[in-house]
Amino acid sequence: MDDIAIELRGIDKSFGPVHANKNINLKVRKGTIHGIIGENGAGKSTLMSILYGFYQADSGEILVDGKAVAIRDPNAAIAAGIGMVHQHFMLVENFTVLENIMLGAEDSQILNKGIAKARVELKRLEREYALEVDPDAVIEELPVGLQQRVEILKALYRRADILILDEPTGVLTPAEADHLFRVLEQLKSQGKTVILITHKLREIMAITDEVSVMRRGEMVATRTTAETSVEELAELMVGRRVLLRVEKGEAKPGDVKLAVEELTVKDGRGVTMVDNVSFNLRAGEIVGIAGVAGNGQSELLEAISGIRRAVSGSVLLNGKPIEVTGHADPSELRDRGLAHVPEDRHHVGLVLKFEECENAILGYHHDKRYLNGVFLNIDAIRKDAEQRIAEYDIRPPNPRLKTANFSGGNQQKIVLAREMERGPDVLIIGQPTRGVDVGAIEFIHKRIIEMRDQGMAVLLVSVELDEIRALSDRILVMFAGRVVGERNPDATEGELGLLMAGVEGRKEAAE
Amino acid sequence: MDFFHVIVVLLESTIRVSVPLIFAALAGLFTERAGVFDIGLEGKMLGAAFAAGAVAAVTQSVWMGLLAAILISIALSLVHGYASITQRGNQIVSGVAINFIVAGSTVILGEAWFRQGGRTPALGEGARFQVVNLPFADSIREIPILGPIYSDLLSGHFLLTYIAFAMVPVSWWILYRTRFGLRLRAVGENPGAVDTAGISVIWLRYRAVICCGILCGFAGAYLSLAMTAGFVKGMTAGKGYIALAALIFAKWRPKNIMLACLLFGFLDALAIRLQGNPLPLIGQVPVQLMQALPYILTVILLAGFIGKAIPPKAGGVPYVKER
């Protein structure tokens, strides 16, 4: 007889005009790992926030262990035995592990007694679930994988029987993700129920017992994982058949377009983020830079595109130097044929409060096409934008609409259209598909390959290893600011994963 | 011996001028550690000083004066709290507004009620704080070195002075050794963590703001009931801002706050002492320079020359649940 740990009946939630959850029904069996998959904006996180008491559903019922419960705030969720590991960790970074775990569950007004008790309890949890962590370590000094472990311990400390994990692997190396999955298996074997929210199909297949698919605020299907396939789930997520594998021919590399020599970049705190990096980028090839977020990829992109000053080294664009250690002027670089799609489109790539057509010419507004003497030629700008909208299938097709009102995928297409359409020699792209839905990913990937085939040199940085492997002709792996290895795209994930974790790289660098 | 005497007098006045700074900086510590920046320390202190002076003059009771100071200061804190916590307004604007409202309204009300040009009537003995002499202060004054230190430096201050210095370890204990303190520090760093732990961010921040009000009340009462006998318009004279500077200079830590306030107080005492007394070799030091020193030191600190002042991470940002 299967026990149901959590049942949702007819959950409905709107934020103004946005209908985030439509009549959601869901049953999660006790002692299983239940995946919830869907594209960005499908309503997964909203649903889980309702379950954790962060939001109130407009209508519907939540049953825990068969009994209806009102979850008005996180306190009620904790009392009902629900724990949550958030996508962005809810940890106080300058507190110790122990303080973070105690917060909100301190037992008494004076901390001393509670601290001793928490220490004992933490030891017990560590033994029981093999989740070791130094209770006196300060959070900001711990690697991300351990910070996540603290989040899990926090939930267990509050005696959670049902654990919700929201996109837990986004910040982890493949090895850390594997370890997390082993921990989840362990929790399952101890009778805990795990709900795993993700948009990564591979994770669903690897670890879940059952999977529910959400699309545009609706729960469209629930399957037993063993009886479904990646193709079926992808189709359910998007609502149509999608190509998961990008079709691409042999690369025909030409001349060196971008030569990076011994580039070193420090961040605002004086920490070396890019350490003596050298590589070449040729016309007609895509070079992918793989690595866990925060290993210097961002700083590398910023230095090459002229928005962050490097400490030393040189970069040649079409054989002529870029003043990377001095005042490189991004607009001059653009004129010299270097286009940049920044990683963070909200803060660097777009002005969200501008109209679409205004963003479509951002940085190219000196172009004679858009000018009438000293004034902007609004008609020309709009006409140009309309054409771009048609080519890139940007929706809704309205150049006067505020950019903030476009979905993530369409915003990204606006940036890509702007940077690609002028046929630069070198295209630098950071996180091309972050926060972009599957349908748009397919489109963006095809475009990038088209650009390569037209002879453009493409430098691609992404934390999505699948994306790097699908698009790149060569893969450079960065760890702690260094390029620790170069591989072909047919290198196995395990091999790349070890490089990304800095394990293999050290040996290689020593040789 | 004469030089020693000068030092004792200088340190004694250092303590005297440091007291309101300590109260106000600790007040700021509570709100800012909870993530609510408070540039309105000055206004709250001034409002409290006025309330203390007015009520003590009318009731002839120093205790009623102190109580009134605390209540008014809490009320002003709650206004700041309502604007910045509940309504998620700009904390700097709200604080500045409080400073202006108080600066104007104390003068208007003072003139309307007492007709002494914005002052409150001079207070008699029972209506203000008296100095407390520690035991044996008179009998051991003659002992060299230790005598004057005990009798003149440590003894003979107001009750509020001793309370101010006692508040330093007490504040430390509250912040670092109690549940309330743990949560308060957490809410200033990551309110999301507090919210998901099932604690109300809003109520917690209001309590922090109330703590701030109480301490600013003490600061104001000290000015009009102890340091002088009655309220004079604008009598805080920028002490709220100096306290804010001390708070930053102290990197938001209780013990450092005491040291920073004593340093700034010492500069103040020195400025008064040096007025009209040219220094050997250097000559006349402009008073303005001495008065600007606390701010100059704070700017140097902020520029990163003396360590690094890292404010509470969520400071100044109203908490909105993300969607």
Residue B32 near residue B312, CB atoms below 8 Å: yes
Chain B residues with CB inside 8 Å of A104's CB? Answer: 183, 194, 197-199
What is the C-alpha separation between B171 and B24, in angstroms, rounded? Answer: 12
Nearest CA in chain B to A109: B179
pLDDT at B226: 94
Give the closest of B178, B192, B323 to A90, CB-based.
B192
Q: How large is the ipTM?
A: 0.86
Q: Listing from the earlier edge strand, what are the strands of the sheet with A193-198?
A: A82-85, A162-166, A193-198, A33-38, A210-215, A218-224
pTM of the model: 0.79
Range of lowest pLDDT (A2-6, A185-189, B19-23, B238-242): A2-6
Q: Tens of pLDDT along B185-201? A: 999 999 999 999 999 99
Low-confidence residues of chain B: pLDDT under 70: 1, 305, 322-323
Question: What residues have CB less than 8 Å from A143, skipping those under 6 apart?
Answer: none
Residue contact A93–B189, C-beta within 8 A: yes
What domains sit in chain A, N to C, each tagged with a CATH number?
4-238 (3.40.50.300), 256-352+407-510 (3.40.50.300)
pLDDT at A244: 62
Range of lowest pLDDT (A64-73, A168-177, B81-90): A168-177
Angle subtended at Cα A437 by Cα A432 and Cα A441, rounded to the nearest 5 degrees? 45
pLDDT at A158: 93
Q: Which two three-digit tokens encode residue A116? A: 């001793």
pLDDT at A227: 93
DSSP SS3 for A54: coil
The count of C-alpha atoms lying within 13 angstroms of the C-alpha of A410, restricted to the half-sphere facing its C-beta, is 19
Give the closest of A102, A103, A111 to B178, CB-based.
A111
Does the pLDDT value for residue A486 go beyond 90? Answer: yes
Q: Considering only residues A351 and A440, tell me which one the structure prediction assigns the higher pLDDT.
A: A351
Does the pLDDT value for residue A292 go beyond 90? Answer: no
What is the C-alpha separation between A271 and B17, in angstroms, rounded? Answer: 42
Range of lowest pLDDT (A231-245, A278-292, A423-437, B205-219): A231-245
DSSP SS3 for A435: coil
φ, ψ dihedrals at B157, nearest 5°: -105, 175
Residue contact A90–B193, C-beta within 8 A: yes
pLDDT at A511: 44
Q: Considering only residues A240 and B204, tell me which one the structure prediction assigns the higher pLDDT.
A: B204
- The CA distance from A377 to the nearest CA of chain B, in Å, is 38
Residue A481 near residue A295, CB atoms below 8 Å: yes
pLDDT at A504: 59
- When pLDDT is averaged across residues A371-382 and rounded to a whole number, the result is 91
Exposure class string for A230-242: b at 16+ Cβ within 10 A, else e: eeebbbbbbeeee
Q: What is the mean pLDDT of chain A?
A: 89
Residue contact A54–B193, C-beta within 8 A: no
- When pLDDT is averaged across residues A182-208 and rounded to a whole number, the result is 91
Highest mean pLDDT among A310-314, A399-403, A464-468, B71-75: B71-75
Please give the distance of CA B250 from its chain centroid, rounded to a whole number: 14
Q: Which two three-digit tokens encode residue B2? A: 């004469």
What is the C-alpha separation between B210 and A256, in angstroms, rounded? Answer: 65
Q: Where are the domains of chain B?
A: 3-238
Chain B residues with CB inside 8 Å of A74's CB? Answer: 195-198
Chain A residues with CB inside 8 Å of B189's CB? Answer: 92-95
- When pLDDT is averaged across residues A118-146 and rounded to a whole number, the result is 90
Residue contact B198–A103, C-beta within 8 A: no
pLDDT at A124: 93
- Cα dihedral B65/B70/B76/B81 (nearest 10): -170
Residue contact B185–A92, C-beta within 8 A: yes
Residue contact B186–A111, C-beta within 8 A: no
If pLDDT is split at 50, 70 and 90, which confidence band does A165 have?
A: very high
Give the closest of A54, A93, A103 to B321, CB-based.
A54
Q: Which two three-digit tokens encode residue B30? A: 């509570």
Probe site for chain A from B176, B178, B182, B313 (most A CB atoms < 10 A): B182
pLDDT at B275: 76
Residues of B at the A interface, defined by Cβ within 8 angstroms: 177-183, 185-186, 189-190, 192-199, 313, 321, 323
What is the C-alpha separation between B272 and A162, in angstroms, rounded? Answer: 67
Q: Tens of pLDDT along A10-38? A: 999 988 777 889 999 999 999 999 999 98
Residue A14 touches chain B, beta carbons under 8 Å: no
Nearest CA in chain B to A88: B192
First to last CA, chain B: 70
φ, ψ dihedrals at A398, nearest 5°: -135, 105
pLDDT at A1: 43
Residue contact A114–B179, C-beta within 8 A: yes
